[in-house]
Amino acid sequence: MKPWKKMLMGLGLGVLVGILIGPKAQYVKPFGTVFLTLLNMLIVPLVFSSMCVGITSISDIRKLGRVGFKTLLLFVVTTMIAIVFGLFAAHFIKPGAGMGLSYSRELALDNTPALSKMFLDLVPTNPIGSLATGNILQVIIFAIFLGLGINFAGEKGKPLARFMESLSEVMFAMTRLVMKLAPFGIFFIMIWVTGTFGVAILFPLLKLIFAIYLASIIHLVVVFGGILIFLAKVRVGPFFKGMGDAIAMAISTTSSSATLPTTLHCVEQNLGVSKNIANFILPLGCTINMNGTAIFQAIAALFIAQCYGIDLTIVNMITIVATATLSAVGCAGIPGAGIVTLSIVLSTIGLPLEGIAIVAGIDRIRDIIGTVLNVLGDGVVAVYVAKSEKEFDETCYNHTVNVSYQEGAMPTESKS
């Protein structure tokens, strides 16, 4: 049986068992937590090594500039379009209309970052400290500069480049070991989620969930489908088939970072993207390319405004687009991070922060589609950039072999 089918089976059985045992699901939570901890154990060294290898493998500085420009441009443009779709969905569906809540006091959230501080903190003062604390944005910045330094050092930098490549391969081998436990980890995670929150959590905020899912599906079809068909000029079907394992992992973990090892595997082995392109784009994307999170922040902001009967102006809407784009870029690829950065959007346009408590209850449910959108967005950009740089195996893409971790295949080598 293919890995993604095992993962979906684990997910479905976990939901069923969670409904049956209810609150007793808390007793199996540690088993799911162990699996997530194993994934988190891989994230920092995997991102650091693969990002550095991605930079060093593109020795042509002009090519690196082209790849970086295309990647960042698509990340920003697709994120802004996602926010606009979210605003339209919330405007027409009006999920918060008629609730008639009154504003009492500001909700104090711990660790809510200021927007200016978030960008000032991008550059690490202590790279070792950033690695130790798992600050992914700072790790990526350091990996980029380290990769550039290795390239500029020439022959003297090659021993370090070989070490980073070896570290990257070792991390992929560790990933394959951990991924063998994925169906079991997903099973226990879903038992706890379903048993703790119950299916009834869907009903109080059903319209909000519907708006988020509708906007996400429209974005998936129109934007991602458009990029694949009109820019990359490939068929859409093989893309979704090849990303099957990553989709299953995204649904169960609701974490772009935890899904990164699976995403790298799917994009390289199943979609035919060269290793250096995938290693550059995907670690970067799982940190700053958050289309799903952006849609949530836009819809949640309008939902909260509607709940409190606050009318937003066109200027407010434009501010939401700008602020949500920036906060989505700074949002960590972990479950619940969107709730924290939502406070930035609300405070910028003067909405009551206590409204966050209203949407917090459905955060896990909306995070399912949000994480899937984030992960697929990274894959779409990787396919387009690889195709434009002639580092794309279209035969592999169209056949979509779906090589599993269990089969022990290594990522596709660079074709450059």
Single-letter residue type at 358: I
What pLDDT does 65 receive?
Answer: 86
Residues 99-116 pLDDT 10s: 766 665 544 434 444 556
- Between CA 23 and CA 34 the distance in angstroms is 20
Residues 37-46 pLDDT 10s: 887 788 788 8
- Written as six digits, the tokens of 62 are 């002009």
Question: How open is the CA angle 186-189-193, to the nearest 5 degrees?
Answer: 135
Q: Does domain 3-407 have CATH number 1.10.12.10?
A: no
Contact predicate 18/25, CB 8 Å:
yes
Nearest to 385 by CA among 225, 220, 223, 232: 232
Nearest to 376 by CA among 252, 275, 249: 249
Contact predicate 349/301, CB 8 Å:
yes
Mean pLDDT of the chain: 82
Q: pLDDT band for 410, please (50, 70, 90 cuts).
A: very low
pTM over 0.85: no
> Which sequence spans correspond to the domains of the chain?
3-407
Q: How many CA atoms lie within 13 Å of 205's alpha carbon, on the beta-carbon side?
A: 22
**Which range (31-35, 236-240, 273-277) has the least confidence?**
31-35
Q: pLDDT band for 414, please (50, 70, 90 cuts).
A: very low
Residues β-bridged to residue 273? 392
What pLDDT does 327 receive?
Answer: 67
Name residues whose C-beta falls within 8 Å of residue 185's C-beta, 6 or more positions apart in sequence. Answer: 10, 31, 32, 34, 35, 36, 38, 252
Q: How many CA atoms lie within 13 Å of 147's alpha carbon, on the beta-carbon side?
A: 27
